[in-house]
Structures are given as C-alpha cells and as structure tokens.
Amino acid sequence: MLHPTNCNTVWLVLCMILPVLLQTVEAATYECKNEKYMSEDYCVYRNVVHDGRNTIEFKAPSSKEQHVAFLNSNLKHIPKELLSAFPDMRVLHVVNSNLTSVVIPNKLERLYASNNFISKVIVHQSPATTTMTELMLDSNRLLDVSNITRQLKKLEILNLSGNEELAKAKAIDLGNFDGMKNLRDLLLAGIGAYYVDNDRGVSFPELMLLDLSNNDLITSNLAVKVFAPMPKLETLRLAHNKITKLDVLQLTENNKLKEIYLEGNDFPCDYQALLVKHLIESRVEFPVDHKNVECLQGYMKQNDMCCRGSIMDIPRSSVPSENPIDESPTNQETNQDSIPTTIIKTTVHTTTVRTPTTHAPSEGVGKVKDSKDGSSDAPILTLGHSLVGCLTLAIAKLILF
C-alpha cells in the first residue's frame, strides 16, 4: 500500500508528463489547395515541417489528386503518410525542401527534387513495370545512382547535374546507362568528371540533348567517338571545361547535330577561329550564354567567347615597354601600316653626357693663364695699365703749361 505522500508525488509526475505525451501523439495536420503552379494544376502544400519523428496528417480536396507540390517546406524525408494519402500520385514536386532522401512510389511518373541534400533514392518500381519518365535530381549529394539506372529503364529525362562527387574515379561511364533506350535528355553537368568513356559502345537511339558542361574534361580524355552511338543528338553542351582541341569534323558527321556549346574552354584563338568557321559551314550553331563576361589576362574575346591569345595578339598597352627612355616611334613603326612584315624592336643603350653650366668667355676678353707657381697674372696686367695712364696724363699737363 502506497503512502499518501507517494501517491501525491505520482499524480504530480503524471500531471506533468501526460500533456507532453499527448502533445507528441497529436498529429500535425496540413491541407493542400488546388492551384496553378509551373503551368500545371497541383494540390499545393505550404510551410510543412517534418523531421521524420513527428506524426503528420495530409488532407486534400480529393483523394484522387495526382499532382502534389510542397512549397516553402522543410522535409527531411518523404512522409509515409503522404504516400498513403495519395495512392494515385503521378507527379511530386519537392524542390528545395531540405530532403536527405526521397522515395519513388509505384505509380509515380515525374519527380522534381532539385536543390536538396539527397544522398539516397528509394525506388519502389521495377524495370518491367516502371512508370517513371522524368527524374530531376540535380544539385544534391548523390554518390551512386545504380538503382536508378537499373530499375527506371523508361526514363526520358534524367538530370543528375550538380552532384559534385557522382563521377566514380572522376569518370563518366556512359555504359552505366545501358538499356535506357528512351532517354532524350541526359544532364551530367558539374559532377566532377575528368573523363568520358563508352567502352561498351552503349547506344542511345533517342538521345537529343547531352550536357557535360562545368566538368574538368580535357582534350586527351574526350574522344569524339563516344558520341557516335547517338544518332539523334541535336544539342551537345561542352561549355566550361578544359578542352583545347576538338575533332569537330567527326562530330559534324552527325547530320542531326544543331548546336554545340563551347564557351569557357581553353581553345587557342587561331584554332577557335577555324573551329567556328567549320561549324558555320556545317550549319551548326554555337550559342554563347555569357557574352558579356570579361576574359582573363592572356585571353581575348573572339566570336563572343574568350580564347587563349598568343604573345603577338596581346594588345601593346598590356606589354611593358622595353625602352622607357626613348618613347618616340621608329621609322619602321610609323610605316607599319604600309609594310605587312613583323617588326622586331631591339633595345639601344645610350650614354647620357652632362654639359657644364658655366658660360664661354665673351669675345674680346683675354683668357687668364695660370703661372707655374700657381699665382695669377691678372693683378700684373692691371698694374701695367695704371702706370701708362698716369704717365700720359702728366705729359699732357706739361704741354698745356
């Protein structure tokens, strides 16, 4: 039998704990509203918070809603309550929602989950019954997408750009997409790749856009033959890599190619000029997204793209003067417009001679000579002139008297 004091203590503890327990058990309820979003009809949830521990409930105007979007929300995971509430969901939009994982349920066709922290993708579809056609997982933290390429064979659009550590051993192996015959757009920009391989010769019969921009591809690691099994390729994005040469002749053998993005590479200007000329002749466009960008030192703008200039191409104002003393143009320089030859300037070293600041003696004044003993003859000359003058004056006075 409990002592009355102990009973009071138990009741006090229960009174303090029960409200907390009831509060945690009580589910947070959110209801979506039908509205136009991204040019489509969605049932939109706003300001949803779910950390994976709190119970949550989703309500909708109809249980048959198929397009669901989350805006201004914070979701660590996709709540299982959401999948139960929308068994027929076809499109899910969870962009910029702080997700660390995402689930692809059975009937889902399109998933937009860009700009999250996703490192894990749970796929509930099989290769034979998959319904997924579009998957946007750019700007996440994926390291492995083998379950995606293995199970979602009917994908038409796959965006994996911005997963900076996705390229295993710094290589893009196009063979990993084997069997994805329906792919039209494949975006692999900014995934930390140095190489592009397709050793297995995997074909992409429907691929029209391939984005390999913002990687670290160099000429020796990019064989144009990897694009050969892409007969319908129209757009190739190679911008912002480290390419210095490109076998554009082989590339343009594909008559379907319409545009190629090349800005931000390391082409020498003379080579880039030839490359652009061939593209124009082949009627292949070379769009430039950033025409107003300033080129780095040693580079110059050509065809709206920066290219690596040679020493002779660098403007004279940027080259230090070799002869800062004599800045006057030479005869060859003044006539350089009429002489189509290369002028080589040599530095001429001159000696500067100081001239005395004293003036030359005036005409008619004798030059004073120094005597051998170091004394000057000037006082002697002055005394002689004085005696002659006095004698002449005395004779004149005697004549007058």
Residue 365: pLDDT above 80? Answer: no
* pTM attached to this predicted model: 0.73
Confidence at 5, pLDDT banded by 50, 70, 90: low
pLDDT in tens, 141-171: 999 999 999 999 999 999 999 999 999 889 9
Residue 30 CA, chain-centre distance (Å), reads: 41
* pLDDT tens digits for range 314-326: 544 333 344 444 4
Mean pLDDT of the chain: 81
User: What is the reported pLDDT for 393?
Assistant: 53
Band (136; pLDDT cuts 50, 70, 90): very high
Cβ count within 10 A of residue 126: 12
pLDDT for 16 = 63
Mean pLDDT of 101-116: 98
Domains plus CATH for the chain?
25-308 (3.80.10.10)
Answer yes or no: are the C-beta atoms of 94 and 113 closer than 8 Å: yes
E-strand spans in 263-322?
A: 299-302, 305-308
pLDDT at 20: 52
Confidence of residue 389 (pLDDT cuts 50, 70, 90): low
DSSP string, 37-58: ETTEEEEEEES-EE-SSS-EEE
- Dihedral (CA of 264, 265, 270, 275) sign: negative
Burial of 107 (0-12, 13-18, 19+ CB in 10 A): middle
